[in-house]
């Protein structure tokens, strides 16, 4: 089964090392007639917007992740650890909004971006993506589990809300913060629909959007497209390999594990 | 008698008051209202601007003839868009495609994920490698999935058809035959997204306490019996959760269909979100697109409430 799962990967990698002639040849020949070559990678890296798209993807994913984690953690802290007027109602509205399919918001969001003169800017791609009610919920659930005694001890030492948040809650929440950051990063990196709609300038496209335009403009160039795809996939695969443990653990601790 | 206050009573009342004052003071220290607002505000600003406001704008637009090119906010047309949507055969056809896709993908995405997780959990060495193999496809951007599978699907020189031909079968027009197109998209979706459900199952399996298995083994239960009587019942909540998440995710299908078939052949794979997209961004009818969005949104809400009901009842 695993082998079956890896075949498409293998085929993509294999194709990227072929000449264009071999890559478009018929059949499932894993070993190309003209031998293996790095030409496709050279061409892709030499011309085209791939490096620009990669930089855009990194900038956008990092910005979205940083902003999302910061504002979600702060909101989760407010909902979990403080009492302010309207807290319950606001939290209920936040939770309810998890059900809204983001896709139905693209039309009004696009209209809004037009009105705000933000179409074809980084801001248009980034800002709508930082709203992550599900992440607020996950973080709040985790914060709820931090023992009150720790917080009280800090209060007795004269710490204010900000200090409690910064020096007690955040350090204890590292695993869940890492998990949320990884989830947000993956989702942002691979998000297609919104970046696709909010950018038309190739200089602003992210990798998934840019890659999807490659085929239209160049016709059949399997080797180059495969090479571009592989270059576009490597960063996330590395992130996953580095953080596998956190990702699996976070699935369990967020309660998604069903316990 | 009640008005007489003895010193003892006064003392008791006094200490109660002091007690509640102390409690109030602790409360204030623990949870200052102003700080709560301060912490919540950045999120609430974004939440309002980019979620609540667009929901409102969309709802308003659905009652107007707003267009992408038009000026101003469009003319109020009442329920016209909604009446049109309910009478629009495209809405029903694309909704039908969406539901068909959801049915087609949810069952295998639950079962294959479960089988994979069971295989990996029950004693295969090198768990991380399997995790990587199954989850890695989930990490690919949709454009990469599209690139790889459009190569595999090519009718005359794609790998899938070459494999079929070596077994003496005829090649299949994977994406261009109305009979097969949705199945092909389902296959891609299974390959692409099963890794997430697989991880959820794996985490749930790891959380089943060992003593349940030990007790079952003591009672003489064999491997199959342990699977049926311990593992699967313990996974019931996870299965319910995965099924709900999967139905919601499948109903929102757009990306892979848009890239692989553009909704074709002959609209056979066109999901409702693509219809909304086309109406809004190709035909510039934002008002009507919004109305169709809200009809779809209503259906999603009804479905999620129904699912919640079904699964919460089953748990009782």
**A241 → closest Cβ in B132, B252, B280:** B132
Which chain A residue lies closest to B273 (C-alpha atoms)? A103
**Per-residue pLDDT, B27:** 46
Cβ distance B143 to A192 under 8 Å? yes
Q: Are A9 and B238 a contacting pair at CB < 8 A?
A: no
Cβ distance A121 to A54 under 8 Å? no
**Per-residue pLDDT, A20:** 75
Q: Are B44 and A11 a contacting pair at CB < 8 A?
A: no
**Cα distance between the two ends of chain A:** 28
Q: Are B159 and A74 a contacting pair at CB < 8 A?
A: no
Q: Are B149 and A111 a contacting pair at CB < 8 A?
A: no
Residue B170 CA to residue B54 CA, distance in Å, equals: 50
Cβ distance A71 to B20 under 8 Å? no
Which chain A residue lies closest to B113 (C-alpha atoms)? A1
**A193 → closest Cβ in B141, B251, B254:** B254
**B57 → closest Cβ in A111, A207, A256:** A111
Which chain B residue lies closest to A197 (C-alpha atoms)? B281
Q: Which residues of A touch B156 (CB under 8 A)?
A: 26
Question: What pLDDT band is residue B218 in, cutting at 50, 70 and 90?
Answer: confident
**A257 → closest Cβ in B128, B147, B200:** B200
Look at phi and psi of residue B126 and say left if phi exceeds 0, alpha if psi is from -120 to 50, else beta: left
**Per-residue pLDDT, B283:** 79
Q: For tokens 């209503």, name the residue.
A: B298
> Which of A73, A107, A75 is CA-nearest to residue A94?
A75
Cβ distance B40 to A75 under 8 Å? yes
**B304 → closest Cβ in A24, A99, A192:** A99
C-alpha distance from B265 to closest chain A C-alpha (Å): 18
- Predicted confidence (pLDDT) per residue in B88-140, tens digit: 999 999 999 999 999 999 999 999 999 988 888 876 677 777 777 888 888 88
Count of CB atoms situated within 10 Å of the CB of B121:
17
A218 or B250: whose pLDDT is higher? B250
Which chain B residue lies closest to A152 (C-alpha atoms)? B30
C-alpha distance from A120 to closest chain B C-alpha (Å): 16
Concatenating the DSSP letter of every residue in B101-131 gives HHHHHHHHHHHHHHHHHHHHHTT-S-HHHHH
A46 or B240: whose pLDDT is higher? B240
- Predicted confidence (pLDDT) per residue in A77-116, tens digit: 999 988 888 889 999 999 888 878 787 888 889 888 988 8
Q: Are B163 and A28 a contacting pair at CB < 8 A?
A: yes
Q: Which residues of A touch B150 (CB under 8 A)?
A: 215
Residue A44 CA from chain centroid, whole number: 24
Ranges A201-205, B33-37, B242-246: which has the least confidence: B33-37
Question: What pLDDT band is residue B24 in, cutting at 50, 70 and 90?
Answer: very low
Average pLDDT (A187-196) is 89
**Per-residue pLDDT, A252:** 59
- ipTM entry: 0.86
Q: Are A259 and B163 a contacting pair at CB < 8 A?
A: no
Ranges A180-184, B58-62, B131-135, B145-149: which has the least confidence: B131-135
**A101 → closest Cβ in B141, B148, B297:** B297
Average pLDDT (B288-307) is 88
Distances (CA, A) of B123 to B119, B120, B203, B230, B281: 8, 7, 15, 17, 51
Q: Which residues of A touch B237 (CB under 8 A)?
A: 258-259
Q: Can you give B217-267 as a three-state secondary structure string?
A: HHCCCCHHHHHHHHHHHHCHHHHHHHHHHHHHHHHCCCHHHHHHCCCCCCC
Concatenating the DSSP letter of every residue in A95-116 gives HHGGGS-GGGGHHHHHHHHHHT
**pLDDT score of B25 more than 70:** no
Q: Which residues of B touch A12 (CB under 8 A)?
A: 144, 147-148, 151
Residue B76, strand partner residues:
B64
Which chain A residue lies closest to B237 (C-alpha atoms)? A258
Residue B64, strand partner residues:
B76
Long-range contacts, B84-90 (Cβ 8 Å, 24+):
B84/B288, B84/B291, B85/B288, B85/B291, B85/B292, B85/B295, B86/B295, B88/B292, B90/B275
> Which of A16, A143, A157 is CA-nearest to residue A73?
A143
A138 or B2: whose pLDDT is higher? A138
Question: What pLDDT band is residue B44 in, cutting at 50, 70 and 90?
Answer: very high
**Per-residue pLDDT, A218:** 53
Instruction: Give burial (CB, 10 Å; 0-12/13-18/19+) of A45.
Output: middle
Sequence-separated (6 or more) residues with CB below 8 Å from residue A92: none
Ranges A21-25, A195-199, B146-150: which has the least confidence: A21-25
Q: Which residues of B touch A155 (CB under 8 A)?
A: 29-30
Test the B interface: residue of A57, A104, A158 with most B CBs within 10 Å: A104
- Predicted confidence (pLDDT) per residue in A134-186, tens digit: 899 889 988 988 888 888 888 888 888 888 899 889 998 887 888 888 888 88
Residue A227 DSSP SS3: helix
Percent of chain B exceeding pLDDT 70 equals 85
Q: Are B280 and A5 a contacting pair at CB < 8 A?
A: no
Average pLDDT (B296-306) is 86
Domains of chain B, by residue range, sit at: 61-313
Which chain A residue lies closest to B209 (C-alpha atoms)? A259
- The model's pTM is 0.82
Superfamily (CATH H level) for B61-313: MetI-like (1.10.3720.10)
Q: For tokens 């009507």, name the residue.
A: B288
User: Whats the size of chain A, residue-wise?
Assistant: 259
Question: What pLDDT band is residue A232 in, cutting at 50, 70 and 90?
Answer: confident
**pLDDT score of B5 more than 60:** no
**Per-residue pLDDT, A155:** 87
**Per-residue pLDDT, B21:** 44
**Per-residue pLDDT, A22:** 77
Which chain B residue lies closest to A10 (C-alpha atoms)? B148
Average predicted confidence (pLDDT) for chain B: 81
Q: Are A192 and B141 a contacting pair at CB < 8 A?
A: yes
- Predicted confidence (pLDDT) per residue in B258-297, tens digit: 989 888 788 899 999 999 988 888 878 888 999 999 999 8
A117 or A249: whose pLDDT is higher? A117
C-alpha distance from A158 to closest chain B C-alpha (Å): 10
The torsion angle over the Cα atoms of residues B244, B249, B250 and B253, rounded to 10 degrees, is 170
Residue A140 CA to residue A147 CA, distance in Å, equals: 13
Average pLDDT (A115-120) is 88
Which helix (H) or strand (E) element contains residue A13? helix A2-16
């Amino acid at each position: 089964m695993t082998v079956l799962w890896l075949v498409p990967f293998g085929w993509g990698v294999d194709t990227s090392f072929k000449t264009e002639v071999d890559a478009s040849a018929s059949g499932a020949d894993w070993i190309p007639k003209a031998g293996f070559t790095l030409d496709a990678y050279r061409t892709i890296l030499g011309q085209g917007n791939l490096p620009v798209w990669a930089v855009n993807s990194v900038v956008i994913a990092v910005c979205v992740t940083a902003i999302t984690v910061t504002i979600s953690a702060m909101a989760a802290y407010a909902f979990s650890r403080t009492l302010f007027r309207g807290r319950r109602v606001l939290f209920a509205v936040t939770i309810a909004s998890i059900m809204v399919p983001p896709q139905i918001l693209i039309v009004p969001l696009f209209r809004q971006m037009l009105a705000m003169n933000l179409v074809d800017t980084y801001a248009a791609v980034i800002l709508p993506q930082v709203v992550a009610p599900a992440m607020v919920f996950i973080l709040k659930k985790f914060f709820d589990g931090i023992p009150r005694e720790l917080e009280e001890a800090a209060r007795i030492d004269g710490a204010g809300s900000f200090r409690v948040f910064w020096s007690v809650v955040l350090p204890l929440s590292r695993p869940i913060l890492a998990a949320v950051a990884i989830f947000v990063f993956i989702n942002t990196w691979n998000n297609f629909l919104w970046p696709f709609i909010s950018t038309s300038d190739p200089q602003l496209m992210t990798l998934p959007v840019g890659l999807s335009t490659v085929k239209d403009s160049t016709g059949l160039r399997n080797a180059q497209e495969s090479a571009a795809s592989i270059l576009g996939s490597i960063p996330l695969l590395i992130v996953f390999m580095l953080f596998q443990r956190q990702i699996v653990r976070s699935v369990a601790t967020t309660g998604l594990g069903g316990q | 008698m009640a008005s007489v206050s003895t010193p003892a009573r006064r003392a008791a009342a006094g200490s109660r008051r002091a007690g509640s004052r102390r409690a109030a003071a602790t409360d204030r220290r623990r949870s200052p209202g102003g700080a709560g607002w301060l912490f919540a505000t950045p999120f609430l600003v974004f939440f309002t601007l980019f979620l609540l406001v667009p929901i409102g704008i969309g709802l308003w637009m659905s009652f107007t003839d707003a267009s992408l090119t038009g000026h101003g906010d469009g003319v109020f047309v009442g329920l016209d868009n909604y009446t049109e949507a309910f009478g629009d055969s495209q809405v029903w056809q694309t909704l039908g495609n969406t539901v068909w896709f959801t049915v087609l993908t949810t069952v295998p995405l639950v079962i294959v994920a479960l089988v994979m997780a069971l295989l990996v959990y029950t004693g295969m060495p090198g768990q991380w490698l399997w995790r990587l193999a199954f989850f890695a496809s989930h990490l690919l951007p949709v454009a990469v999935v599209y690139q790889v599978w459009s190569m595999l699907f090519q009718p005359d020189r794609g790998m899938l058809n070459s494999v079929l031909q070596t077994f003496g079968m005829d090649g299949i027009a994977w994406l261009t035959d109305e009979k097969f197109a949705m199945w092909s998209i389902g296959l891609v979706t299974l390959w692409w997204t099963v890794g997430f459900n697989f991880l959820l199952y794996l985490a749930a399996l790891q959380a089943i306490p060992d003593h349940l298995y030990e007790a079952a083994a003591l009672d003489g239960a064999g491997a199959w019996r342990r699977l049926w009587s311990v593992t699967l019942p313990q996974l019931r909540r996870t299965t319910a959760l995965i099924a709900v998440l999967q139905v919601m995710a499948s109903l929102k299908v757009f990306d892979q269909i848009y890239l692989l078939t553009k909704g074709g052949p002959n609209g056979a794979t066109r999901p409702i979100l693509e219809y909304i997209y086309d109406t809004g961004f190709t035909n510039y009818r934002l008002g009507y697109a919004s109305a169709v969005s809200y009809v779809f949104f209503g259906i999603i809400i009804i479905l999620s409430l129904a699912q919640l009901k079904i699964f919460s009842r089953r748990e009782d």
